[in-house]
Amino acid sequence: KAGVTQTPRYLIKTRGQQVTLSCSPISGHRSVSWYQQTPGQGLQFLFEYFSETQRNKGNFPGRFSGRQFSNSRSEMNVSTLELGDSALYLCASRRTGRTGELFFGEGSRLTVL
């Protein structure tokens, strides 16, 4: 069974630009969560989608948004990029929206110059 796939793996943007990251969950998994990973801050929860609806949200500004499609694939978008947005963005899928193992992708490493 294919794992969680994230694209692109690496990208470089400049301040003020926007970026869209994509996540394809494991087949049959309907929940996709997004996390921002930075040194010292660990994994900061962004949001979770289940059945195309945002079910939970973390404490990030409105510049961070996401969506989920009918095939459970998810995208997250960051607008008006800031230097502090440089991070590894990880998505994770699980079968349901309740307790259970999160399966992570390898991440998209965003560098903002």
Residues of this chain that bind another protein (CB under 8 A):
4, 31, 33, 35, 40-45, 48, 50, 55-56, 58-59, 90, 97-99, 101-102, 104-107
Which tokens belong to 95? 């079968």
Q: Return left, alpha or beta for 16; rule: phi > 0 is left, psi -120 to 50 is alpha, else beta.
A: left
* Cβ 6 to another protein shortest distance, Å: 9
Number of H helices, E strands in the chain: 0, 11
Amino acid present at 59? N
Of 59 and 70, CB closest to another protein: 59
Which tokens belong to 33? 């969560």
* Cβ 94 to another protein shortest distance, Å: 9
Of 11 and 103, CB closest to another protein: 103
Residue 22's alpha-carbon distances to 19, 98, 102, in angstroms, are: 10, 23, 17
* Cβ 15 to another protein shortest distance, Å: 26
Of 4 and 21, CB closest to another protein: 4
Of 81 and 105, CB closest to another protein: 105
For residue 100, the SS3 value is coil
* Cβ 100 to another protein shortest distance, Å: 8
